[in-house]
Amino acid sequence: MGDKPTIAISHLGCEKNRIDTEHMLGLLVEAGYGVDTNEELADYVIVNTCSFIEAAREESVRTLVELAEANKKIVITGCMAQHFQSQLLEELPEAVAVVGTGDYHKIVNVIERVEQGERVKLVSAEPTYIADENTPRYRTTTEGVAYLRVAEGCDYRCAFCIIPHLRGNQRSRTIESIVAEAKQLASQGVKEIILISQITTNYGLDIYGKPKLAELLRALGEVDVPWIRMHYAYPTGLTPEVMAAIQETPNFLPYLDLPLQHSHPEILRAMNRPWQGRVNDGIIDRIKSALPSAVLRTTFIVGFPGETQEHFEHLLEFIQRHEFDHVGVFTFSPEEGTPAFNLPNQLPQEVMAERHHRVMELQQPISQKQNQREVGKIVDVLIEQENPESGELIGRSGRFSPEVDGQVYVKGVGAASHREAKLGTIVPVAIQSADAYDLYGQVVNSH
């Protein structure tokens, strides 16, 4: 190893951030740096921060302050670095570098400069970088799963969202590049590839002149990996071609994450959502009839400025009617630098909290009912954790995406099943019971 410093990375935020973390790790390892998971032993700690909403920023700040108090040399990367560059350097003397979202691939150079005694600020005003299949990468997910970024940045300008400001406009990778990386991941034994970008249904628009998601899915159908899942599909981008590609590509899970954010046309207009009120024109029903086996996940924001009781009742009725499998709810968080920050009629925190509670309360029995339908079926489960004491295994079926949805708790049946049900493998499980979040079952012996 010689005299190179050791480096730990503290990862905060979403899976898009996670991929940046994995590339930084890959580049550092390739350059001969020791990478340590233990922050106490490392010479430097890279904190890959999130700046999406207030709560995420608070977590980032807490992490930074704790490391500063432990006298760590901190390199701040990610969305918060992009967002508050000068401020961070001013307020945290322990920060030796601030690196923006479009510059993380220069991390080795940053560490070299810091080692020379320089305090580095490397933040491109307009991020344009996107890694490809040749960028070194060190995966941090469980062995069976990998995220695959198909595009970075976003061309939409939703009133509440700071992301385009932090990550730049959409830039897609070519189909060839994505397929090449998918093949690399498959050869490493990955069983589930999750496609991510800010808006996956707009994939390819910038480089091909029109969205090419259907073509991408069909090309990925040729890759030898059992499960491919997609995050962040805008309903209007789920064209008949895309739906047909999902249906006809056997390894593509019919799992759709639709970030709807609201149902009322007036609120959607205030949010500057690209298709405004069209979520009410039967689009969800069309998706369900085109893909009867589809698992639908969505997220909503309650308490957007100007949301009246009537707007909120509209949302409740919408949730009740469509019976989504999974619903995530956020309370509105005013982000400086976004149009919604200065909107009149901001709602009091207790009203937002009450609305959040009501949505969760409404959704629970719906999620329970949807999970209940799995009871009695034999489903494929990707095993991700095992308890050596009890022999209990924990994994996910195609219904559940990592970290945001539920899990499947699996009882083994003696040593024979355990030989087959190893971490990172997909095994058949007979589902015996369900609650609002999780499923419970037993490995089906193939003997």
**From the annotation, which residues make up the binding site for [4Fe-4S] cluster?**
14, 50, 79, 154, 158, 161
* Residue 290 CB neighbour total at 10 angstroms: 16
Q: Which residues are annotated as a binding site?
A: 14, 50, 79, 154, 158, 161
Answer yes or no: are the C-beta atoms of 158 and 333 closer than 8 Å.
Answer: no
Q: Give the strand pairing for 120-122 and 95-99.
A: parallel
CA nearest neighbour of 412 among 399, 430, 436: 430
Q: Give the strand pairing for 326-331 and 120-122.
A: unpaired
Q: Give the strand pairing for 378-386 and 426-434.
A: antiparallel
* Length reported for the chain: 447
Query: Beta-strand (E) ranges in 240-310?
Result: 252-261, 295-302
Residue 93 carries which side chain, given as an amino acid letter? P
Beta bridge pairs of residue 199: none
Report residue 125 CA to chain centroid gap. 24
Beta bridge pairs of residue 296: 256
Strand order in the sheet with 34-35: 34-35, 6-11, 44-49, 73-78, 95-99, 120-122
Q: Which distant-in-sequence residues (6+ apart) come within 8 Å of 128 by Cβ?
A: 102, 168, 171
Put residue 261 in one of left, alpha, beta given phi > 0 → left and psi -120 to 50 → alpha. Answer: left
Answer yes or no: are the C-beta atoms of 279 and 239 closer than 8 Å.
Answer: no
Q: Which helix (H) or strand (E) holds 354?
A: helix 349-372
**CA 229 – CA 400 distance, rounded (Å):** 10
Q: Which distant-in-sequence residues (6+ apart) come within 8 Å of 24 by Cβ?
A: 9, 46, 48, 77, 104, 107
**CA 208 – CA 19 distance, rounded (Å):** 24
* Residue 184 CB neighbour total at 10 angstroms: 16
CA nearest neighbour of 335 among 159, 84, 197, 157: 159
